[in-house]
A and B are shown apart, each in its own frame.
Chain A
Amino acid sequence: MTAAPIDTGFKGSAARNAAARARLLRGLLPALSLALVLLAIAWLNPRAISYFGFNLMLNLAIPIALATIAQMFVIAGNELDLSIGTFVGFVGCVTATWLKEAPLIGVLILLGSIGVYALLGALIHLRNLPSIVVTLGMSFVWQGLAILVLPKPGGKAPDWLLAIMSLKPPFVPFPIIAALLIGLVVHFGLMRTSYGTILRGSGGNPAALRRAGWSLLWTKVALFSLTGLFGVLSGMALIGITTSADANIGNGYTLLSIAGVILGGGEFVGGRVSPIGAVIGALTLALAASPLLTFMHIPPDWQVAANGAILIIVLAARVLISRKER
């Protein structure tokens, strides 16, 4: 820190420190909300806080976290992917059929679908299209393809995938290790590398990036390809857990992933995202979605409402805390 002898701006170092502190606190909020949900669970059912309990409760956390990360990449570029849910479903159907029966073709299909995402990024940039509408259309496409691949629920996950997803490492449950790993790897890639900086910059001020000689086409293609890649991983992880597929299996993931990114402290515009926050947001949602409600003896009719209420409460807490900070 360089000490300024004369403070030449009103928004001086004190104000800037306050801004940095507020940002830090906002960064801690996702973790805080996760802790809150965990505390509630521990209070309602202490036995759930155990190796076995976490394994069970966080069962679906890995695919949700991966889908949230996928969504985070497009949001970093000021776009939105409304098709990620049906895409995860499509990948699930391919995983449970082609990937098991004809691995080579299966792999090619999945790589091809990432290529489709890359093309979408190019299309959206070149024709200056609203991503909401394009991905809305794509959600129909993926759903249709999923039904064509797997008309009736069924299929079976490849054995290696089942083996990975049912790993039982000592002491720490697998979902927690996996979530940590995902968060750290993406954090390093997007927040610490020089090219990750360029990708985030494309969301912060695209014009500045273009003037510095970077191609916005390529940043957009890169962000969409990463979304496709993590969408594929999410679909595969999901089938590794559920063992069989269904064309509608991922439908809820679109809204879940958006909520996860926002819960994790991300913003819709301006390239402000946080991979670790997104993973934590996804874990919070995964825990709040079913285990907590079951422990609270909420009747099935009202479980959906409780989900909405939890989302509102967590976000309200976030606002309260950041208000107090100011």
Chain B
Amino acid sequence: MASLKALVTKPWIWSFVGALLVWLVTIAFTGGYGAGGMVTAALSLAVFTVIVGVGQMFVITLGPGNVDLSLPANIGLASAVAMKVMGGSDSMIVVGLLAALACGAAIGAINYLLIWALRIPPIIATLSASFIIQSVDISFGRGLQIKPPPGFADFTNWQIFGVPVLAMLTVLFTIGAAIALRRMIYGRSVLAIGQNIRAAWLAGVNVGRVRFLTYTLSGALGGIDGALLAGYFRGANVDIGNEYLLASIAVVVIGGTSVAGGKANVPGVWGAALFLVLLLTMLNTFGVSAGVRLLLTGLIIVGVITAAGGEKAVR
């Protein structure tokens, strides 16, 4: 009973409750048909949001104004780079993944360079960078019709007893991220900077290095995500990352991370990603039009955040 009470007070529990509710409503609508398949599909799709969501979470936790708007462009470019390096050959899969990772990490590093050297607010810096990356991608990826190597495509779609392997790996990754956040100097430093950057500096936190690492991490995760997306959807394209701008921010915040910084939540990212994916599935199952689907998605996001409420201001 006490543990249940403790669970209810955890902010991330609500995103899982929401996901469960949406799933129940949908299977009630279909009369139980496709209940398992829906979970599998949701897990496979949520993975991509979770990966970038975790990166975005660390960035947002750095404090007000910190957000990575270059993720969609980053994902688009990295997907093209990965496909080009792999060149359809199974032997190049690892190299291609590393190339995507490096491409993303470089973008993240450049983002921080702009923020630090030009003292531009991160929103504007990552936005400007994303414009440039987008052009590079358009130019580089023009007419690029390379399919992923069959082995890679199979890997990204591989399931064991209906559980996508990619989802299992991502769970391991998020556990690692949660440990890094709570128990490693890096995570503590991110949380400290997010609460009060000046106090963090005066308490001996290496503010510059931590911020650099965080933007680079977000970029690298975007790069990996791009490669995996290209494998899952069997091909790269410029628009492949578009939906992940709003999605990455939405899962972070619905998952209980504070946009004011200094308070992050890893499990919530999973719950919120599942919730969003299942929500879309539900609306598609209901067969509503595009306009209504958007309208309801928006209203539900606003509704969820209103119900969850903001944290009370400290004294």
Contact = CB atoms under 8 A, between A and B. Distances in A.
Direct contact of A and B (CB under 8 A): yes
Interface of A: 123, 127-130, 132-134, 136-148, 151, 255, 258-259, 262, 268-269, 301-309, 311-312, 315-316, 319
Contacts of A132: 67, 249, 253, 259
Chain B: interface secondary structure? helix
A258 B124 contact: yes
B129 A308 contact: yes
A10 B127 CA distance: 40
A148 B292 contact: yes
B170 interface: no
A130 B123 contact: no
Contacts of A127: 306, 309-310
B186 to A, nearest CB: 25
Given A269-B64, A304-B135, A308-B130, A130 B310 contact: yes
Nearest to A125: B310
A134 B298 CA distance: 9
A144 B302 contact: no
A133 B298 contact: no
Contact of A147 (B120, B135, B291, B313): B291
B118 A315 contact: yes
B306 A123 contact: yes
A140 B301 contact: yes
Given A262-B121, A305-B136, 15 more contacts: A128-B312, A129-B305, A133-B249, A136-B246, A140-B295, A141-B298, A143-B298, A258-B123, A258-B124, A268-B123, A301-B142, A305-B135, A308-B131, A312-B120, A316-B118
Nearest to B67: A132
Chain A: interface secondary structure? helix
Nearest to A123: B306
25 contacts: A129-B306, A130-B260, A132-B67, A133-B250, A136-B249, A137-B299, A137-B301, A139-B298, A140-B295, A142-B298, A144-B295, A144-B297, A145-B295, A151-B291, A269-B64, A301-B138, A304-B134, A305-B132, A305-B134, A308-B129, A309-B128, A309-B131, A309-B132, A312-B118, A315-B118
B214 to A, nearest CB: 18
Interface string B196-222: 000000000000000000000000000
A142 B228 CA distance: 32
Nearest to B313: A128
Contacts of B312: 128
B88 interface: no
Contact of B305 (A133, A147, A259, A316): A133
Interface of B: 64-65, 67, 69, 114, 118-121, 123-125, 127-132, 134-136, 138-139, 142, 246, 249-250, 253-254, 258-260, 289-302, 305-306, 309-313
Contacts of A123: 306
A142 B302 CA distance: 12
A139 B124 CA distance: 19
A144 B249 contact: no
A317 B147 CA distance: 44
B118 A301 contact: no
Nearest to B131: A308
Contacts of B302: 134, 137-138, 141
A129 B118 contact: no
A147 B294 contact: yes
A138 B132 CA distance: 28
A311 B69 CA distance: 15
A67 B96 CA distance: 43
Given A128-B312, A259-B127, A134 B305 contact: yes
Contact of A311 (B124, B296, B310): B124
A140 B301 CA distance: 9
Given A141-B299, A151-B291, A128 B64 contact: no
A311 B142 CA distance: 25
Nearest to B134: A304
A145 B312 CA distance: 33
Contact of A312 (B123, B128, B253, B289): B128
Contact of A140 (B65, B258, B298): B298
Nearest to A133: B253
